Amino acid sequence: MSNSTTLGSRAHNRSLSIKGLSIKSLTLLGFGLVALPLVIALIFGASQVNTLANKSASAITGITKVLDQQQLLKSSQIKMERSAAQYLVLRDPVLATSYIEQSRQILNLAQRLIATSEDSKLQQLVTQYAQTVTALIEITMPEAEKKSATDSTIIKPIQIKFTALNAIYELITQRSNELHTSHITSIKQAAQAVRDIMIQSLVIIPISILIAGLFIFLITSPLKVLTKNIFRLQQGHFDHEIKVAGSPEIQEIAQALESMRTRLQALELQKSSFIRHISHELKTPLAAIREGTELLYDNSVGELNAEQQEISHIIKDSVFRLQKHIEDLLDFNIVLDSTSLQDSEPMQVNDVIYQVIADRKLDVKRKKLNFNHDLNDISLLSNRKQVAVIIDNILSNAIKYSPDEGIIDISSTLVDEHLNLIISDQGIGIAQANQSKIFDAFYQGPPPEHSLIKGSGLGLTIVKELLLRLNGDIEILNKQSDQQGTSIKITLPRAFRQEEQV
């Protein structure tokens, strides 16, 4: 009973482990754990910044109002002093009116300054200032008006009052500056506090990044293993068993891939065995038929009449086409044979190209073709036989579609450790609508004019498949409108200069 309980608890713990969660659950959990601290930090930071902004705006507004009122107060005081002095000397009613208006404005500004300020000391100073202005208006000025305009002492009492006003104004200015400094210091302290809090909150970022990295690893790690296994299957390697630990979805995919791998491995063996067998069985009698046909055609067994000679020629061409189809089957078997992919060796690309051209020497002579070579000394680490099949199929198409006495251009360059091989002909070209079909199995484009040659439609399919397995690529280069023919670009990796080490 205890053993069954222990096993049950272990299974329960495994089912509750993080790795056992589904991808959806892992994603939601990871997003929540990463977003939660960031959201909390964001809300808290926004609240602190908003408080600081409101406090700063209020302080700046108050300081601005006080400064404006102080400046108006000082300006009005100067105008009032000038008007009062001029009035006592000149006794001009206009100056009296100006003096009275300035005094009223000063008292009004003093009341507004008292209402604006929350500091009691500043309010007391402004009140004292207003009382001094009131005494000047109600006592000092009436007494001065009683004196003669030519009295030399008429201005002195007014000057004493305005000197007192200046002293009080300086105290007001000094107190305002102290309050402004206090406000600015308070704002700086609050900003520093917010800055410290925000800096402390930055600790959440690396924590969130670590949490995000953990969940990204948990999600992507098994996916990378799956991708590696899928790429291995794509390359034709069916010998490695597929085992991936992870979420239930990942395990289901891994099981499906493993089932597909075993099935593909069995089919691979069957196909390779069948093609090797059927190719051998066909080539043996075909060799005898071809040899006999050659003897008949050359009149080695007796003179043939014209009709018999024609029939012999037809048989000879048919045997040649059949032999070509069998060779295509053998090349296709190279594609299906995944074991040959491991036979990589360093080779000189130029040697392979010259060998392929030599193998096609009769076709080249028959059509009187010329070659323009622009080949660099480049070596390649790859399967020599497969590279030769790729170049042979592209070159055979160039020969097939080139006009008599045409020119075939072949160039090679090394770009970022990749071989770029371009083969161009002067044939009829490939229509834009057919460029997406030419790599389909058994697809055959329009035959060249006055040509009886008919292929199997497997050549470019073989090329595409081999390049896929060799991590290479093939591209049809579009020529200008005034140029005719086809340009094929082949790209293969693991290329290097001949003087470099592999």
Each residue's pLDDT tens digit, 219-263: 778 888 888 888 878 766 777 788 877 777 778 888 888 888 888
User: Using CA of residue 357, residue 362, residue 363, residue 368, what is the dihedral sign?
Assistant: positive
Write down the pLDDT at residue 6.
Answer: 46
Helix H segments across 402-458? none
Q: Which residues contact 371 (CB under 8 A, 6 or more apart)?
A: 357, 364, 407, 408, 409, 410
pLDDT of residue 11: 39
Instruction: Tell me the backbone φ, ψ of residue 422, rounded to 5 degrees.
Output: -120, 125
Model pLDDT, residue 409: 92
Q: Give me the CATH code for the 343-497 domain, please.
A: 3.30.565.10
> Given pLDDT bands bounded at 50, 70 and 90, which one contains residue 12?
very low
pLDDT at 355 over 50: yes
Kindly report the CATH number that applies to the domain delimited by 23-201. Answer: 1.20.120.1730
Per-residue pLDDT tens digits for 180-217: 788 778 777 777 777 777 776 677 777 777 777 777 77
Over residues 5-23, mean pLDDT? 50
Q: For residue 4, is pLDDT > 60?
A: no
Task: State pLDDT tens for residues 97-111.
Answer: 887 888 888 888 888
Which pLDDT score, from 0 to 100, does residue 3 have?
46
Closest CA to 338 of 389, 391, 271: 271
pLDDT band at 70 (very low <50, low <70, confident <90, very high): confident
Q: What does the H/E/C string look like for 250-264? A: HHHHHHHHHHHHHHH
The average confidence (pLDDT) of the chain is: 77
The pLDDT score that the predictor gives to residue 423 is 92
Whether residue 425 contacts residue 417, with contact meaning beta carbons closer than 8 Å, is answered with no
Q: Domain 250-340 has what CATH class?
A: mainly alpha
* pLDDT at residue 15, as a whole number: 40
Quickly state the pLDDT bin for 483 (edges 50, 70, 90): low
Choose among 501, 469, 372, 356: nearest CA to 424: 372
Give the per-residue pLDDT at 413. 92
If pLDDT is split at 50, 70 and 90, which confidence band does 502 have? very low
Q: What is the DSSP letter of 139?
A: I
* 396 pLDDT more than 90: no
Upper half-sphere CA count for residue 369 (Cβ side, 13 Å): 28
Contact 102, 131 (CB under 8 A): no
Split at pLDDT 50, 70, 90, the class of 492 is: very high
- pLDDT value at position 448? 61
DSSP state of 9: H
Residue 158's pLDDT is: 79
Amino acid letter, 345 = E
Buried residues in 251-286 as b, exposed as e (16+ CB within 10 A): eebbeebeeebeeeeeebeeebeebeeebeeebeee
Neighbours of 488 (CB within 10 A): 22
Taking only the tens place, the pLDDT of each residue in 150-189 is 676 777 877 888 888 888 888 888 888 887 788 778 777 7
pLDDT in the model for residue 498: 65
**Boundaries of every domain in the chain:** 23-201, 250-340, 343-497
Q: What is the pLDDT of residue 489?
A: 92
> Pairing between strand 370-374 and 407-415?
parallel
SS3 of 370, please? strand
Show the 3-state SS of 40-99.
HHHHHHHHHHHHHHHHHHHHHHHHHHHHHHHHHHHHHHHHHHHHHHHHHHHCCHHHHHHH
At residue 391, the pLDDT reads: 92
In this predicted model, what pLDDT tens digit does every residue of 414-439 receive, in sequence order? 999 999 999 998 888 877 767 777 77
Write down the pLDDT at residue 233.
80
Burial 211-222 (b: 16+ CB within 10 A, else e): beeebeebbeeb
Looking at residues 294-298, what average pLDDT do you find?
A: 74
The three-class DSSP label of residue 153 is coil
> What percentage of the chain has pLDDT greater than the value 90?
8
Could you give the C-alpha distances from 343 to 53, 57, 382, 497, in angstroms and in order?
A: 72, 77, 7, 21
| Residue 22 confidence (pLDDT) | 67
Closest residue by Cα to residue 389 from 318, 429, 336, 434: 336
Determine the 3-state secondary structure of 477 from DSSP.
Answer: strand
Give the list of residues 6+ apart from residue 350 with CB closer than 8 angstroms, or none.
375, 377, 378, 412
